[in-house]
Amino acid sequence: MPDTVPQPESQHRVRIAAMGDMHIGRSASPGVAQAFARVREAADVLVLCGDLTDRGTEDEAQQLSRDLKSVGLPIVAVLGNHDFEAGLSQQVARILSDGGVYMLDGEAIEVLGVGFAGIKGFGGGFGRGALGPWGEPVIKAFVQEAVDEALKLETALARLRTPRKVAVLHYSPVRGTVEDEPPEIFPYLGSSRLEEPLNRYPVDVVLHGHAHGGRFEARTSGGVPVYNVAAPLLLRRDPAAPPFHIVELAWTDPAATP
């Protein structure tokens, strides 16, 4: 019987820079400009977690598209609530997509061997405090929006076949990263319904924004790390650093047998 010869292995490492809530158009942010200038040195992929613009206008989207051209990395993004303000969310997404950004809204994409599933998400609250679909039609419609977003996330996650997987949202799927915000606004910051598909289709990391005054890190009930990468929060944590967070994913693939 011939000896067993170990096959060579291929090492993979991808660095993901994540940030959200740039609110392009509100005012010139030195922190955001610094992030765009320095991210190429630190990462292989840039992920943007919504509130890309401040009022969701085409001019703001064009400005952001111009700013992103200097980044020189693959960019994956979802929209946030601010990107809907002017009623032009489809145009905002199209402008950024035409500029080379991979815009996700219930879709999945593979970039450098890592799978990304993305949605905006929605509110509704967490755990026992979550709003239920009972009573007036407008309440039922509000809850249904969160359910629909969760279903879109589940569909996207189910399509991923990559060894490493990332969920990209704007709203939080867990209460942990909205703690430190006023409790009265918790229901507007995320929904536990968004966590359910993450437990059925586990990922390596969840990235979101929206909660400017929340906490940086928490975990799903299944133990998956969740990072709140809203730029105002990251700048508050370290005013001297550019407001993006680096997540490094690594894996090993056996090389094809010669």
CA dihedral 20, 249, 66, 55 (to 10 degrees): -20
210 torsion bin: left (phi>0), alpha (psi -120 to 50), beta (else): left
All residues at 6 or more sequence positions from 206 whose CB lies less than 8 Å from its CB, including other chains: 166, 167, 169, 173, 174, 198, 220, 224, 225, 226, 227
Question: Which residue matches tokens 């703001």?
Answer: 60
| Residue range 36-85, pLDDT digits in tens | 989 999 999 999 999 999 999 999 999 999 999 989 999 999 999 999 99
| Residue 256 pLDDT > 60 | no
| Residue range 89-139, pLDDT digits in tens | 999 999 999 999 999 999 999 999 999 999 999 999 999 889 999 999 999
| Residue 30 pLDDT > 80 | no
| Residue 3 pLDDT > 60 | no
